[in-house]
């Protein structure tokens, strides 16, 4: 009588990865050998299971048919079978796409009449090519620069797929700043009576909703997910990830994991972002993984790397025919009091991180960098008693006494004032009295100069304290102000984002808009109201920097316009280091995407003299802090970013 075969199970984990579970009746030696067989495809392993990478689900069945796995009868869960089917279909579509050169993908589909399916907005030639390529891909990735019309192109693709019965509805996951565009573009793109019903941030979408727009954070709400489940049931849905770089951390972040989970449930997916790799290759792989689940690494650093340009659409600024953007870096000298206080802060913060336990060093260094970035503009914004890292001194007056490491009281200390300068204790106690924040003053001068020329100015700062200082300095220009604390659209609030934008765009007495790039750097068009930008400070995230620039440099600029962007850099501060790192990241993205227009942003003309992740990007905070204390202008080296 033949003995019954050992049975094992193949399932799926919470991240959509295939899992080979250890059979109950198997020896340790046999399980180790099966683990060795699966190791090249494994994501992780434990004594009870081997978790495989998603891109290997298609080859898992073949692996399990090899010795010693053949000694087990493997039973696949329904979820694992569905994952294998989806992976095979995605792989087949990607293989077809990368098997055709870009020029072949641009051919307009036979018989497609967009007007016949209700889409009536005229498309520019490069937009028409994008539509053709994305239809050939059946979704995919649109990495065109901000302001090139990605929303309109997406609606054209949806209209075509909906018209031929391939799709019933579209879910758009986007930052709140982009909501307005999805509603307005629907009305502009479709004929009267054919406009899809667009629901913005519904808790439970209605069946009549053709297009549902939600922000990334709401994907984590179980009530919202249940509502989406009901809405998507028995429907073919395309999921669009707008500003998809927001999910660049992939499964390492809650936002990325929730987005990846939604992508696996879609019939089609499309990612939209002009900055798909704000920090490096890992970002690009995570964004590709939303468009082609399980294949991001193949496209970035695997077998499809050399065919990567066939897997995305990229309209560059050169193709838009925009007037050139003048980007200049203006170096600003700090006054003596500001310099003394900044240097003391840098030394003390570095000393504090060096003395901290290893497990706390990274977090403390990150907070230290944020404080130094803010203090390079205005130390008063971070010198708030009682808050961690708020003071460079343990007590306001402790540097008035000789330090233990300076036994000679007659030897001058770098922390001691010169006879004609206030003491550090006085600077800390009342920085606004003793320090003239040079970058705030220079920003006010630029706004005044632009006003005399009849030009409005967009002023950026990533720090609320600096925003408040700018608001006071620009008061006579009646500035609009938008930060993360500004309500999106709340008639009951004193003001909101919608009203502040309307005031900047249409009020002749409002000459400036002060905004945080983390809040307003995406999804908003300001080029019809404003051509000039001033960046009072910047963080390490290249995507945030590039997105902010594109609020005023985008499709629709009149010929002959003179758009300009001024970056204020405080001399011999962390600002200079940030400039070096950002330029290196932009050059890397230019190489990866084959977009030479980005190099003009990475190498601008130089004129002589709140959430940590949003400002620091992928920077190694400890290495950066010690680097800037030594030399803020050194080139990025190994270990400077992760």
The rounded distance, in Å, linking the Cα atoms of 462 and 449 is 23
**Which CATH class for the 99-315 domain?**
alpha beta
Secondary structure letter of residue 478 according to DSSP: -
pLDDT higher than threshold 80 for residue 633: no
Q: How confident is residue 454, by pLDDT bands cut at 50, 70 and 90?
A: very high
Helix residue spans in 356-463 (DSSP H): 358-377, 424-429, 431-434, 438-452
Q: CB-side exposure of 485: number of CA atoms within 13 Å?
A: 9
Q: Considering the entire predicted model, what is its pTM?
A: 0.76
Model pLDDT, residue 543: 85
Q: Distance (Å, rounded) from C-alpha 68 to C-alpha 74?
A: 12
404-427 pLDDT, tens digit per residue, is 333 333 334 444 445 556 666 666
Whether the domain at 6-80 and the domain at 99-315 fall into the same CATH topology: no
Out of 1.20.1070, 3.30.780, 3.40.50, 1.10.1740, the CATH code matching 6-80 is 3.30.780
- % of the chain residues with pLDDT over 90: 47
Neighbours of 106 (CB within 10 A): 15
Q: Which two tokens stand for residue 67?
A: 């010795």
Distance of CA 564 to the CA centre of its chain: 23
What burial letters (b/e) apply to 157-192, b meaning 16+ CB within 10 Å?
bbbbbbbeeebebbbbbbbbbbbbbbeebbeebbee
Question: What pLDDT, on the 0 to 100 scale, is given for residue 176?
Answer: 86
DSSP string, 211-234: EEEE-GGGGG-HHHHHHHHHHHTT
Nearest-CA neighbor of 204 among 196, 194, 212, 215? Answer: 212
For the ranges 48-52, 345-349, 603-607, the lowest mean pLDDT is seen at 603-607
The span from the CA of 63 to the CA of 88, in Å, is 16
Task: Please say if the pLDDT value at position 459 is more than 70.
Answer: yes
pLDDT band at 248 (very low <50, low <70, confident <90, very high): confident
CB 264 within 8 A of CB 86: yes
The percent of residues above 70 in pLDDT, for the chain, comes to 85
- CA geometry: angle 47, 51, 56, nearest 5 deg: 145
> For residue 178, what is the DSSP state?
G
Contacts within 8 Å (CB) and 24+ apart, 451-455: 451/477, 451/511, 455/530, 455/531, 455/532
The confidence score (pLDDT) of residue 404 equals: 34
Mean pLDDT along residues 507-515: 96
Q: Which band of pLDDT confidence, cut at 50, 70 and 90, is reported for residue 317?
A: confident
Let me know: does 642 contact 362? Beta carbons within 8 Å: no
**Residue partners of 564: CB distance under 8 A and separation at least 6:** 325, 326, 327, 328, 531, 532, 533
Judge contact between 80 and 18, C-beta under 8 A. Answer: yes
CB atoms within 10 A of CB 635: 11
What are the φ/ψ torsions at residue 169 (nearest 5 degrees)? Answer: -155, 170
Answer with the residue of higher pLDDT: 606 or 194.
194
Q: Is residue 607's pLDDT more than 60?
A: no
Secondary structure (3-state) at 119: strand
pLDDT interval class at 57 (50, 70, 90): confident
Q: Give the containing element (helix H, strand E) for 28.
A: helix 28-38
Confidence of residue 392 (pLDDT cuts 50, 70, 90): very low
pLDDT, mean of residues 33-42: 90
Of 287, 283, 247, 290, the residue nearest 266 (C-alpha)? 290
Please write the tens of the pLDDT for every residue from 259-287. Answer: 888 888 888 999 999 988 877 888 899 99
Report the pLDDT averaged over residues 581-590: 89
Q: Is 199 helix (H, G, I), strand (E, B) or coil?
A: strand
Domain parsing of the chain, residue ranges: 6-80, 99-315, 326-332+437-609
3-state SS class at 535? strand
Question: From residue 626, how far is each of 349, 374, 377, 531, 536 by CA, in Å?
Answer: 10, 17, 20, 38, 23
Answer yes or no: is pLDDT of 397 > 90.
no
Annotate 552-603 with DSSP letters as a single string: TSSTTPPTT---EEEEEEETTSHHHHHHHHHHHHHHHHHHHHT-GGGHHHHS
The mean pLDDT value of the chain amounts to 84
The two three-digit tokens of residue 230, written as one number: 């009901």
- Which fold is adopted by the domain 326-332+437-609? Rossmann fold (3.40.50)
What's the CA gap between 200 and 555, in Å, rounded?
25
Tokens of 463: 């720090």
Q: What's residue 309's pLDDT?
A: 93
Q: How confident is the model over 109-154, as pLDDT tens digits?
A: 999 999 999 999 999 999 999 999 999 999 999 999 888 899 999 9
């Amino acid at each position: 009588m033949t003995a019954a075969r050992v049975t094992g199970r193949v399932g799926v984990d919470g991240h959509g990865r295939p899992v080979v579970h250890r059979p109950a009746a198997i020896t340790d030696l046999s399980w180790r050998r099966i683990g060795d067989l699966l190791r090249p495809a494994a994501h992780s392993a434990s004594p009870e299971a081997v978790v495989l990478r998603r891109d290997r689900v298609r080859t898992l069945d073949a692996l399990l048919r090899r010795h010693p796995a053949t000694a087990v009868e493997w039973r696949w869960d329904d979820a694992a079978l569905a994952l294998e089917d989806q992976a095979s279909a995605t792989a087949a579509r990607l293989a077809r796409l990368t098997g055709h050169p870009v020029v072949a993908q641009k051919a307009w589909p036979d018989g497609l009449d967009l007007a016949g399916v209700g889409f009536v907005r005229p498309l520019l030639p490069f937009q028409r090519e994008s539509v053709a390529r994305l239809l050939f891909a059946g979704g995919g990735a649109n990495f065109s620069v901000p302001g090139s019309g990605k929303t309109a192109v997406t609606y054209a693709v949806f209209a075509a797929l909906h018209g031929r019965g391939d799709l019933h509805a579209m879910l758009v996951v986007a930052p709140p700043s982009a909501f307005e565009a999805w509603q307005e573009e629907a009305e502009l793109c479709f004929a009267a009576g054919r406009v899809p019903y667009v629901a913005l941030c519904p808790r439970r979408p209605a069946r009549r909703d053709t297009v549902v727009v939600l922000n990334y954070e709401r994907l984590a709400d179980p009530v919202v997910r249940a509502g989406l489940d009901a809405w998507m049931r028995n429907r073919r849905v395309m999921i669009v990830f707008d500003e998809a770089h927001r999910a660049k951390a992939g499964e390492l972040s809650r936002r990325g994991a929730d987005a990846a989970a939604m992508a696996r449930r879609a019939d089609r997916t499309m990612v939209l972002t002009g900055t798909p790799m704000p920090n490096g290759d890992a970002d690009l792989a995570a964004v590709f993984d939303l468009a082609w689940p399980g294949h991001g690494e193949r496209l970035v650093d695997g077998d499809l790397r050399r065919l990567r340009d066939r897997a995305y659409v990229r309209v560059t600024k050169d193709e838009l025919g925009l007037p050139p953007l003048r980007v200049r870096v203006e170096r600003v000298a700090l006054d003596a009091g500001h310099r003394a206080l900044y240097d003391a802060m840098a030394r003390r913060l570095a000393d504090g991180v060096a003395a901290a336990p290893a497990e706390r060093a990274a977090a403390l260094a990150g907070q230290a960098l944020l404080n130094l970035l803010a203090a390079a503009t205005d130390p008063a914004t971070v010198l708030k008693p009682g808050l961690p890292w708020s003071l460079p001194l343990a007590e306001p007056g402790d540097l008035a006494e000789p330090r233990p490491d300076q036994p000679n009281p007659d030897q001058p200390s770098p922390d001691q004032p010169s006879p004609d300068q206030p003491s550090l204790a006085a600077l800390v106690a009342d920085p606004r009295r003793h320090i003239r924040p040079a970058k705030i003053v220079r920003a006010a001068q630029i706004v005044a100069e632009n006003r005399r020329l009849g030009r409005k100015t967009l002023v950026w700062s990533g720090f609320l304290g600096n925003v408040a200082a700018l608001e006071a300095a620009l008061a006579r220009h009646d500035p609009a102000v938008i930060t993360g604390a500004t309500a999106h659209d709340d008639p009951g609030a004193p003001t909101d984002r919608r009203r502040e934008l309307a005031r900047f765009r249409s009020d002749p007495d409002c000459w400036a808009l002060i905004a945080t790039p983390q809040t307003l750097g995406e999804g908003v068009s300001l080029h019809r109201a404003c051509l000039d930008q001033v960046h009072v400070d910047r963080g390490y995230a290249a995507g945030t920097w590039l997105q902010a620039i594109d609020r005023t440099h985008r499709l629709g600029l009149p010929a002959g316009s003179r758009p300009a962007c001024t970056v204020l850099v405080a001399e011999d501060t962390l600002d200079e280091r940030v400039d070096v790192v950002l330029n290196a990241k932009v050059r890397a993205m230019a190489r990866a995407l084959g977009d030479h227009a980005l190099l003009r942003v990475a190498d601008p003309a130089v004129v002589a003299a709140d959430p940590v992740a949003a400002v620091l990007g992928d920077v190694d905070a400890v290495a950066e802090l010690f680097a800037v204390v030594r030399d803020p202008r050194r080139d990025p080296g190994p270990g400077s970013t992760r």
